[in-house]
Structure 1
Amino acid sequence: MPFASAVDHYENFPVASVLCPPAWRGAVVAMYRVARMADDIADEGDDPPGVRLQALAQLRATLAGLWADDTATLAAAAPALRALHEQRQRHALPLAPLLDLLDAFEQDVRWTATGRRYQDEAELLDYCRRSANPVGRLMLHLAGVRGAEAVAQSDAVCTALQLLNMAQDLGVDLSRGRLYLPRSWLLAAGADPDAPPATWPPPALAHGVLQLVALARQHLRRGWGLPLGVPGRFGWELRVVLHAALRLAQRIEAQGGRTWLRRPRLHWHDSPLLLWRAWRHPVHRPVETNRHPCLDQRPLP
């Protein structure tokens, strides 16, 4: 998930980095920790689906109580939730994006438990709308950016980051019984979506991963101008995130999409290059290399 932070877990796209405005850092970290709490409920440990869903429902009820300033809820809340409550009051954070995130986590649990698969690209993008786009909307709220164009661009960028994360984490997700490649893509690549994933031909899986990357690039094009409408350090942060997304896409493509064999990732030693690209190549002139020739990878506008 494209929340950015150097706390607790590795992330590709650090939002609470040195470029994050200090006045927002407490809010970003508080949101990240609660989102990570929900993510861990959905994915970590050996709890059965019913227990996970009950815990997510309790988290949803706690958030509703905090936003209603219920004193009993606040007294019983975990420290991370009390910290979020404090930042909510300070920045007037909206509740709806956080509830959308919880809805996506709940879907992960339910669909994994029942073996339900994404039918097509539309279902996949609807999941991204709830699992990723709320993050960008919360960040725009902190930045005081309210325009419809900026929101649409932010949604596009967050969806792209989520799609890249899916491509990167194919092996991890398969080990959890979860798959984000739509059935329509698998059929088109010659795989039987109803058969066990272990029986699918590797080229079909690799094609699906590259389709995720191609779709991510399409959304990056739509959101590429977002930093132009965001002032100050956050605008520069967004430039770095966009170039980090391109670099990750290039690494996945360089592996031919076979991310289940070796998980590509960004490292801290990538930072100097990303900072240089963010400065040297403005948002209307991105750097692109190693584009996969079989997919729609036209240069970003």
Structure 2
Amino acid sequence: MSVDHYENFPVASVLCPPALRPAVVSIYHFARTADDLADEGDARTDERVQALRDYRADLAATVAGQSPSSRWLHVYAPLAREMHRLQPPLLHDLLDAFEQDLAPPRYLDRAHLLDYCRRSANPVGRLLLGLYGVDDPTSLRRSDAICSALQLINFWQDFSRDGPNGRLYVPQADLDRHGLSADDVLACRDSPAARALITELCAWARGLMKEGAPLALALPGRAGWELRFVIQGGLLILDKIAARNHDSLLHRPALRVWDLPRLTWRALTMRAAS
């Protein structure tokens, strides 16, 4: 199951072993609640900052085996039961990213943006691999590539949502190379230069996804099959952007129910270079 509210997070899907589902759900609710604190409702920025600080304090208490506040017991009670299987620094990394979302910088170059992905997306993959007992360097590197690719794909999918909210994830170096300004993207001004920019950004994300894709073929059983669907879902979004000549400043592509047969076929026939 892909939850649109929190970028392509797989939540206790039918492919996830039952024994791992409570841990997966606890991670999801931790991340989604933090996302809501940073992004939902009408709270002022200073109120969101304080809420995330309080949320982090409750995480620290839970990690230390102490009682958190009563404010988010629905998050921290189940998380505490699964903490022995989790890696607390990765949970703190996620909170770092949500805090950054409150005053997002203008990203200077791709390395700058990937550092954000390192905290906003990559911890999810590493947490899930940890549940499966996978921690070798090659698998972790491939997981990071997949998660960063998914985060980038979400950005290139969401121009029409992020622009009106003043959020810009295109590195300045890429804007400069195509002769575009931040205001051009924020205002969703379609142009040949903008489409050339999006073409290049999508190729970057696709390259990262292909770099990580062998992980899905290396992981055994349900883990590998679940990851195949995650990878192919991201690639299908890129294909939808390309099919409309990279007009995602104007049109937001999305996966629909009728995409499932195509997605299933791709997962079944996936090869390392797919």
Q: Same fold (TM over 0.5)?
A: yes
CA distance in 2, matches of 1:249, 1:9: 19
Which residue identity is paired with 1:17?
A: S
2:166–2:186 CA contact under 8 A, matched in 1 = no
SS class of match (1:45): coil
Q: Given the alignment, which residue of 97, 101, 108 partners 2:94?
A: 101
Tell me the number of residue pairs that the alignment of Structure 1 and Structure 2 aligns.
274
1:85-112 residue CA offsets vs partner (Å, 9 max, x unmatched)? 12224xx21111111111111111122x
Code of the aligned partner of 2:26: A
How far apart are 1:193 and its partner, in Å?
3.4
The equivalent of 1:218 in structure 2 is: 207
Q: RMSD of the TM alignment (CA)?
A: 2.2
SS in 2 for 1:181: coil
**Runs of 5+ in structure 1 lacking a partner?**
287-301
Tell me the distance in 1 between the aligned counterparts of 2:267 and 2:184. 44
Q: Which runs of 5+ in 2 are unaligned?
A: none
CA distance in 2: counterparts of 1:33 and 1:205, whole angstroms: 36
Q: Measured at CA, do residues 45 and 155 of structure 1 come closer, stay the same or move farther in structure 2, by a change above 3 Å?
A: same
Cα deviation code 1:5-29 (max 9, x no counterpart): 55x9475463532111111111111
Query: Given the two structures, how large is their TM-score scaled by the length of structure 2?
Result: 0.92
CA contact (8 A) 1:16 1:28 kept: yes
Corresponding residue for residue 16 of structure 2: 20
Write the mapping of 1:72-83 to structure 2, written as runs, cut at 5 A: 73=68, 77-83=72-78
Question: SS state of the match for residue 110, structure 1?
Answer: coil
Superposition TM-score, scaled by structure 1 size: 0.84
Q: Partners in 2 of 1:123 and 1:64 — Cα distance?
A: 28
Match of 1:57 among 53, 58, 65: 53
State the alpha-carbon separation in 2 of the partners of residues 59 and 242 from structure 1: 31
Distance 2:70 2:44 in 1: 28
Instruction: Tell me the percent identity.
Output: 47
1:271 pairs with 246, 253, 260, which one? 260
- 2:103 is the alignment partner of 1:110: yes
Aligned counterparts of 2:188 and 2:249: Cα–Cα separation in 1: 14
SS of equivalent residue, structure 2 residue 182 = coil
Matches within 5 A, 1:256-267: 256-267=245-256
Say which of 69, 80, 91 aligns to 1:85: 80
* Matches for 1:88-167 after TM superposition, within 5 Å: 88-89=83-84, 92-111=85-104, 116-167=105-156
Q: 1:274 Cα deviation (Å)?
A: 1.7
